[in-house]
Amino acid sequence: MRKTLQLIKVLLAVRPFSYYRQNPKEFLKALGFIVLILFSLSGLFSMNVVFYKNLFQALKPVNLESTVLALGAVNTVLIILALGVIAILSGYYYDGAEYLLALPLKGRELLGAKILVNYFYHLPIAVLFFGIPAGVYGYFGGEGFLYWITAIFNLFLLPVLPLTLVFAFFVLIFRSFSFAGKKDFLMYLGGVIGLGAAVLIQKFSNTVQLAEKNPGVLVAKFSDPNLINLKLYKIYLPALLTVKSLTGEDVTIKAFSLGANIIFSLGLLALGLYTLGWAYEKSLKVGAEGGGGRRRVKGELTFTPKPVFISNLLREIRLMNREPVYFLNGPLVIIIIPFVFGISFYFQGIAGLSEIKKFLGNKALENYFLAGLLSLGVFLAAATNITSTAISREAKELYYLKSLPVSEKTWLLGKLAHGYVFGIIASFFAVAGAYFLGVSGFKAWFILPAVLLSALPVLAAGLLLDLKRPYLNWDHPQKAFKQNLNATVGIFLPFMQIGLYWLFLLKFKLSFWPCTVGFAGLSFLIGLGVLFYTLKDAQSSFLKLEV
């Protein structure tokens, strides 16, 4: 256990509080990161609160309010199962597994550390999906102190079993087959599953809307014993024990249920560690053997010269698109977001779409569609995070680039051009959206230059941000993106920009064309200013970059 905890400390990069006292900047960064995470989850948090409150109030008159807890427990387990699969697909193997395998560590210690690290990552999911329904039930049901203590115990217990099950499943597969040479495939698979999870959350969001509009439908839906979630609740013992420990007839049943839940969940975890530890160790050894063949890039031995700018742009695009973490979180976002919009329409049914189409003939509203598509285009162009992580992604390779006879301006303009390559794709999506909504000709194609001009300040500001404060000391490419504040700020910038545009359009009631042309023109000028400032300082900024 002691070795497992030491491993966890290394994996989570746990630092003592004294470190933050000595490095207040690091403390502020960590705090800012936590605030940003909380902010990004706040939408889901409030949506959950609204949904479970409505559900509780709708089901209480028919004495079915404990369904809130049952749903919360089952949904938590399902989401942790889905997200656990993604997490395991991208992080099953240890970085430096070969070194760890040479140390006197038992398989169960290695497996235990992996499961517990994942447990910490998934605990916020339990807070979001079980903590809220438990809170709603306790608050509106006027529950006492014991209820809240039991709820907290259950909240901590819920992620244990699904993560153990997911690991057990993958240990048995990976023990026999090496996926070490197919890490890219695993990442893409994880991405597809993540998209599936996004679709489920979208479906949930539509259910929330339904709940607000029609509580009667809610009662009918959630009192139906054939509802899949409620069927799962009856066969998944920990969920049943969770609800019994909170709503049981007397204290004895509650205490017994909680005790049984603790023994069952932790017992299965211990059983999993003791029976599968050796298999996990074997799977790491199978993984360390490598994937056999090498990834070959198609092509003959050709030596075709290209201009430096083009050659560098191709390098940028290849390095980003061939790294699954970057591709899934970057360029693919341009496709994913319109896809999620499509799914949203699908769940709202054709009715939702036809409601929009009703307005299509209305010339006054047509301009608002165009404004919306322009906003979407600008957001998509920035959402790839290409420029706001451009320097961080290079990391140690910057040393090599700095030794080459290429000006800093050329490097930076290459990165901006890379952002624009996908900005163009985003603008075409916006034009396609216009045609889909029945706007064609000049008005539809006007969006294309408008998006490209308006995207300059966000792309240039992202570049400036990452040049001045890059995240260079990472041990896994994922961190250049996921632990890089610039990526988050890079997505917030277009929100501010678009917000200002809509402020002028709606609040100050400016006419569409002068407002939009002015917005695009002014954005472009501001973008040029930011770019000029970035390039002016490029040489000294580059020299200051030290890994």
In the complex, the residues that contact another protein under the rule CB under 8 A are: 294-299, 301-308, 311-312, 314-315, 318-319, 322-323, 396-397, 399-400, 402-407, 539, 543, 546
Q: How far is the CB of 387 from another protein (least distance, A)?
A: 19
Closer residue to another protein (CB): 212 or 397:
397
Whether residue 240 contacts residue 233, with contact meaning beta carbons closer than 8 Å, is answered with: yes
Closer residue to another protein (CB): 213 or 396:
396
Q: How far is the CB of 463 from another protein (least distance, A)?
A: 20
Q: What is the 3-state secondary structure (H, E, C) of 202-229?
A: HHHHHHHHHHHHCHHHHHHHHCCCCCHH
* Backbone phi and psi for residue 159, each to the nearest 5 degrees, phi listed first: -75, -15
Q: How far is the CB of 421 from another protein (least distance, A)?
A: 17
Alpha-carbon distance of 434 to 375, in angstroms, equals 12
Specify whether the backbone of 521 is left (phi greater than 0), alpha (psi in -120 to 50) or beta.
alpha
Q: How far is the CB of 460 from another protein (least distance, A)?
A: 24
- Compute the chain's Rg from CA coordinates: 26
Alpha-carbon distance of 349 to 379, in angstroms, equals 26
Closest CA to 467 of 542, 532, 517: 542
Closer residue to another protein (CB): 61 or 307:
307
Closer residue to another protein (CB): 203 or 536:
536
The burial class, CB within 10 Å (0-12 / 13-18 / 19+), for 508 is exposed
Alpha-carbon distance of 58 to 51, in angstroms, equals 11
Q: How far is the CB of 301 from another protein (least distance, A)?
A: 7
| Secondary structure E strands in 317-446 | none
Q: How far is the CB of 318 from another protein (least distance, A)?
A: 6
Q: How far is the CB of 71 from another protein (least distance, A)?
A: 44
Closer residue to another protein (CB): 374 or 398:
398
Whether residue 419 contacts residue 456, with contact meaning beta carbons closer than 8 Å, is answered with: no
Closer residue to another protein (CB): 96 or 305:
305
> In this structure, what token pair is assigned to residue 66?
């404990």
Closer residue to another protein (CB): 191 or 272:
191
In the chain, the amino acid numbered 292 is G
